[in-house]
Amino acid sequence: MISLRARFILYIVIVHVLAGVLAAYVLAAHRTWILAAEAVFAASLIIGIALVARLFRSLRFIGDSAQLLADSDFTARFVAVGQPEVDRLIGVYNQMIDHLRMERQRVQEQRYFLSHVIEVTPSGMLVLDFDGRIELCNPAALRLAERPLSELLGRRPGETGAPLFDALARLAPGDARVLAASGGRRVRAVAGTFSDRGFTRVFYLLEELTEELRQSEKSAYEKLIRMMSHEVNNSVGASSSLLASSLSYASQLAPEDRADFSRALRIAIDRMGQLNVFMRSFADVVRLPAPARQPIDVVEILGHIEGVVREELARRNITWRSELYTPAPLVSLDPVQMEQALLNIVKNAIEAVDHDGTITVRLRPDAARLALTIEDSGPGIPADVRDQLFTPFFTTKPHGQGIGLTVIQEILVNHGFDFSLEAASEGPTRFTIRFPMRNAECGMPN
């Protein structure tokens, strides 16, 4: 394809040649005039070609500027060439380049600042790509997911296997909910959207509320339980005393009424006693003392628990399977409190299986810790229930009190042990506790 410059030159040449031929034809009888005209046309041709060449040399910066823009080179500037029109265009270009350079620098600084903030913020952040797959996951979100980054990137939140991310997949843009994470932790999750190159993308902000919520809930239920215990104990004590005194009047009744009177009062006294025991179970959560630690073999505690539930397992046709790492190192803990916590976990597993299943107890090293996992073959836990498992007084059992997991959580938190509850909608359910393996109190080597 012929360039614009070549076309201009070709046009000037053709015009001058035609003009020369026409002049030679008109002035054929006047040789002197023909020569003069041809000289003028030749000079005009040379001047025209020179002007075109100069014009295109002045406009050469257009091609150079296009190449610089294509290469995203915003550092080069052009100098004036002495042509007012061209110099004005050059000035506009230089001004544009300066603005683009400053804008790119500002964007790079903001991007660096934002990436640094995302890395160090204690709040988790999860950003999905255009296909709804995880593209960015900061360290705080990784800590909540308890999964390596390689298992998260490129997957949809519901495909990662992390309980918290499974719950995120059910959040619609604009929703904000408190979700359950492993270890009894609770996280406030907010789903939002932003526009990227004309398309909508989704992001999640995760803020751990575990300790704040736990302390707030603990303060609230401690006050409630103390108030209830005070009122119930006063009423039960006085009522039981009056009922017991009333039994002495049975001998004054007619023989046919005496038995019914005594039976009714004894039933009422028994119910008062049961109410007292019921309230004491709540008060035990409040009165939980600090752990009295001593070096303990966890395998021995598990043996005691198996003996306690053996008859119940046989009655329900549930198999107890042990996969224990022996000899297990001693762990610094309160044996009474830990046995209570583990017994509650095992009872929950038994109720989850109900009949004809398996409870598997595993004890094995996990890095610098000893991991105890109690797994049941039950039907699993529905998603809407998982988010409320460690909420005080929440229960799905018809006659449950909703304090079992609260007691377990209090004991493990007071010991400083990490724990997690992994429960899918369709079993199995695993409760894992991680004990420190190297502990000076246990005589373990450092």
What is the mean pLDDT of the segment spanning 417-441? 74
Say whether domain 121-208 belongs to CATH 3.30.450.20. yes
Handedness of CA 35, 36, 39, 45 (dihedral sign): negative
Domain 121-208 shares a fold with domain 294-442:
no
What is the mean pLDDT of the segment spanning 259-279? 74
How far is C-alpha 57 from the chain's CA centre?
60
Q: How far apart are CA 206 and CA 343, in angstroms?
A: 33
What is the mean pLDDT of the segment spanning 240-248? 76
Of 93-97, 266-270, 303-307, minimum mean pLDDT range: 266-270
Using CA atoms, how far residue 92 sits from 89, 105, 106, in Å, is: 5, 20, 21
Q: How far apart are CA 147 and CA 166, in angstroms?
A: 13
Cβ atoms 222, 286 nearer than 8 A: yes
Confidence (pLDDT) at 59: 63
Structure tokens at 46: 């040379």
Burial-class residue 209 by CB neighbours within 10 Å (0-12, 13-18, 19+).
middle
How far is C-alpha 11 from the chain's CA centre?
70
Q: Can you spell out the DSSP letters for 67-133?
A: HHHHTT--S--PPP-S-HHHHHHHHHHHHHHHHHHHHHHHHHHHHHHHHHHHHH-SSEEEEE-TTS-
How far is C-alpha 101 from the chain's CA centre?
37
> Inter-axis angle of helices 404-415 and 335-353, to 10 degrees?
140
Residues 120-175 have pLDDT tens digits of 887 888 899 999 999 999 888 888 887 888 888 899 988 887 778 888 888 888 88
Confidence (pLDDT) at 55: 67
Give the containing element (helix H, strand E) for 58: helix 31-58
Q: Which fold has domain 294-442?
A: Heat Shock Protein 90 (3.30.565)
3-class state of residue 288 by DSSP: coil
3-class state of residue 386 by DSSP: helix
Q: Helical H runs in 252-297?
A: 255-286
What is the mean pLDDT of the segment spanning 247-275? 76
- Per the prediction, the chain carries an average pLDDT of 77
Q: Is the pLDDT of residue 440 over 50?
A: no
Confidence grade of residue 5 (pLDDT, cut at 50, 70, 90): low
- Least Cα distance to 421 among 220, 139, 130, 184 occurs for 184
What is the mean pLDDT of the segment spanning 275-291? 65
Contacts of 62 (CB under 8 A, 6+ apart): none
AA letter at 354: D
User: In the 8-state DSSP scheme, what is residue 134?
Assistant: E
- Least Cα distance to 383 among 169, 111, 115 occurs for 169
Q: How far apart are CA 390 and CA 379, in angstroms?
A: 19
Tell me the pTM.
0.48
Q: Is the pLDDT of residue 360 over 90?
A: yes
Contacts of 413 (CB under 8 A, 6+ apart): 184, 214
What is the mean pLDDT of the segment spanning 41-68? 73
Confidence (pLDDT) at 401: 45
Confidence (pLDDT) at 441: 39
Residues 389-421 have pLDDT tens digits of 655 554 555 544 445 677 788 888 888 888 887
Confidence grade of residue 212 (pLDDT, cut at 50, 70, 90): low
Residues 308-351 have pLDDT tens digits of 899 899 999 999 999 888 788 889 998 888 988 898 899 889 98
Cβ atoms 345, 307 nearer than 8 A: no
Residues 63-99 have pLDDT tens digits of 677 777 777 777 777 777 676 766 787 788 788 888 8
Q: Domain locations in the chain? A: 4-96, 121-208, 214-286, 294-442
- Least Cα distance to 259 among 248, 250, 272, 269 occurs for 250
Q: How far apart are CA 17 and CA 37, in angstroms?
A: 12
Using CA atoms, how far residue 311 sits from 306, 307, 353, in Å, is: 9, 8, 15
User: In the 8-state DSSP scheme, what is residue 174?
Assistant: T
AA letter at 311: E
Confidence grade of residue 230 (pLDDT, cut at 50, 70, 90): low
Phi, psi of 419 (to 5 degrees): -150, 160
Confidence grade of residue 375 (pLDDT, cut at 50, 70, 90): very high
Phi, psi of 317 (to 5 degrees): 60, 50
Cβ atoms 202, 157 nearer than 8 A: no
For the stretch 93-98, contacts whose Cβ atoms lie closer than 8 Å and that sit 24 or more positions apart, written own/partner, are 93/61, 93/65, 97/68
Confidence (pLDDT) at 318: 92
